[in-house]
Amino acid sequence: MADTIPTQQAQDRPVGSPAPGADTLGEDGVHRTPWGNGDALLREYYDHEWGVPVTTEAGLYERLTLEAFQSGLSWLTILRKREAFRAAFAGFDPEAVAGFGAADVERLMADAGIVRNRRKIDAAIQNAAATLELRADGGLAALIWSFRPETTPLPCTVTEVPSSSPESLALSKELKRRGFAFVGPTTMFALMEAVGIVDTHLLGSHRRGVSGLWHADGTRAAEPRLG
Q: Which of 61, 75, 145, 214 is catalytic?
A: 75
Exposure string (b/e) for 54-72, b if CB count within 10 Å is 16 or more? bbebbbbbbbbbbbbbbbe
- CA distances 104 to 87, 88, 203, Å, are 13, 9, 44
Active site residue 50: no
Q: Which of 45, 50, 145, 214 is catalytic?
A: 45
Task: Report d(CA 132, CA 123) in Å as an integer.
Answer: 14
Active site residue 45: yes
Q: In this structure, are residues 199 and 213 in contact, taking their beta carbons and an 8 Å threshold?
A: yes
User: What values do phi and psi take at 5, rounded to 5?
Assistant: -130, 80
Q: Which of 67, 145, 193, 214 is catalytic?
A: 67
Q: In this structure, are residues 178 and 133 in contact, taking their beta carbons and an 8 Å threshold?
A: yes
Catalogue the active-site residues. 45, 67, 75
